Amino acid sequence: MNMSSAHKSNLGWSAVGAVCAIVLALLWAAPLLWALSTALRPELETVSADFHWLPQAWTLDAFRKTLAAGNLLRWLFNSALVALSVTVVTMAISLMAAYAFSQLRFRGKGILFALAMLAFLLPFEALLVPLFRTMNQLGMINSYAGIVLPQVVSPVVIYVFKQFFDEIPADFREAAVMDGAGPLRVLWSVYLPISGNIVWAMAIVTFIAAWNNFLWPFIIVTSTDMMTIPLGLTQTYDAFGVRYAQLMAAALLGAFPVALAYILFQKKVTQGFLAASGLK
């Protein structure tokens, strides 16, 4: 068989690429795999001078001890509650706001929208101090409401929804108006069902972001039992001391919910993150 030089060269590149891909994939999977390997071995083995990639003695001891230590489950519960609340509230208020911006006509719409989008420019980090003071005055330090509320302001989500709503042909809204639907009805019965996919995508992304949020809970939470997973995991040194099998077990357990969400909804997560970054 006679191959063109271009074809040959392409095969060459393919081989290089395959090697690259395998190497990179191994490199990227390695830390988590190593964490897993560590978590599945007895504590003594982790610090022994005799190094092994795989556990010599397989055991679920670390996981058991970690869960029994009491706080991890509490942290998982807190994270779940906070992340779900943030997601539900953010979706609700963002859908309503995006619909108003996209489909309704009212005075000052342009200014209001520009103002909301201004929040893109100002990083959350700059607001930590005054937010803390405000929460203090409202008595919401170290409370679920305190953790959740500042996180529901999401111009990104509103922007994504508004863009999407803008693309929906106006005919559907007009037909619904002719059928006698008011603005809220149109949102609920027409726009929401049509937007199913993108709403799921943004919901999952919001959930992951809320679960992983470190900075704000770090500022607002003052007691161990109110901590979310990202916070709690930093307390593990105090909880377990320097016991790496348990630390890795804790890390993996803390990562499990969001990792699962990603594996189950890979396409939606990808779609959501891309939409949030302003590309399609």
Partner 1 sequence: MASVRLRGIEKRYGDNLVIKGIDLDIEDGQFVVFVGPSGCGKSTLLRMIAGLEDISSGTLELDGKVCNGVEPAKRGIAMVFQSYALYPHMTVAENMGFALKLAKVPQAEIGERVRRAADALQIGHLLERKPKALSGGQRQRVAIGRAIVRKPEVFLFDEPLSNLDAALRAQTRVELAHLHRELGSTMIYVTHDQVEAMTLGQKIVVFNGGRIEQVGTPLELYERPANLFVAGFLGSPRMNVIPVTLAGEEGDAAVVRLPDGSTAAVAAGAGRLAPGAALRLGLRPEHLRLASTGFGATVGLVEYLGDVTLVHVQVPGVDGMLAVKVYSGGPAPASGSRVALAFDPARAYLFDESGAALSSTTAHAAAL
Partner 2 sequence: MQRAESSIAAATGSPRREGLPALLLLAPFLAAFILFFLVPAFETFWLSLTESSLTRTNGFVGLANYATLVQDPSFWDALGNTFYFALLTVIPLTAIGLLMAMLVNHFVRAQGWLQGVFFLPFVLPISVMTLIADWMLQPSSGVINHILGGQRPWLADPSWALPAVAIGTVWWTVGFNMLLFLAGLRNIPAEQYEAAALDGASGWTLFRHITWPALRPVTTTALILQLIASLKVFGQTYILTSGGPFNTTRVTLHYMYETAFTQSDAGYAAAIAMAFVAVVILLSLLQAWLVRYLARRDA
> Of these partners, partner 1, partner 2, none, which one is at the site of residue 107 (CB under 5 to 8 Å by kind)?
partner 2
**Minimum distance from CB of 64 to partner 2 (Å)?**
18
User: In sequence order, what are the residues at sequence separation of 6 or more whose Cβ sits closer than 8 angstroms to the Cβ of residue 134?
Assistant: none
> Of these partners, partner 1, partner 2, none, which one is at the site of residue 177 (CB under 5 to 8 Å by kind)?
partner 1
Query: For the packed helices 71-103 and 155-167, what is the interaxial angle rounded to 10 degrees?
Result: 40
**Minimum distance from CB of 191 to partner 1 (Å)?**
10
* For partner 1, the closer CB: 171 or 238: 171
* For partner 1, the closer CB: 166 or 179: 179
Query: For the packed helices 61-68 and 71-103, what is the interaxial angle rounded to 10 degrees?
Result: 80
Q: Is 4 helix (H, G, I), strand (E, B) or coil?
A: coil
Q: Which span (112-120, 150-158, 175-183, 263-271) binds partner 1, by CB under 8 A?
A: 175-183
- Under the binding rule (CB under 8 A), the answer on residue 183 touching partner 1 is no
Please state, in angstroms and as integers, the Cα–Cα distance from residue 26 to each residue in 22, 245, 248, following that order. Answer: 6, 22, 19
* For partner 2, the closer CB: 7 or 64: 7
Q: Whole-angstrom Cα distance, residue 92 to residue 40?
A: 42
**Minimum distance from CB of 178 to partner 1 (Å)?**
5
* For partner 1, the closer CB: 89 or 168: 168
Q: Which span (12-20, 61-69, 164-172, 226-234) binds partner 1, by CB under 8 A?
A: 164-172
* For partner 1, the closer CB: 127 or 181: 181
Q: Give the pair of three-digit tokens for residue 228.
A: 């979310």
Which ranges constitute the DSSP H helices of the chain? 5-39, 43-47, 61-68, 71-103, 109-121, 128-138, 144-148, 155-167, 170-178, 183-186, 192-194, 196-212, 215-220, 229-234, 236-240, 244-264, 266-276
Q: Contact positions toward partner 1, by CB under 8 A?
A: 169, 171-172, 174-181, 185, 189-190, 193-194, 196
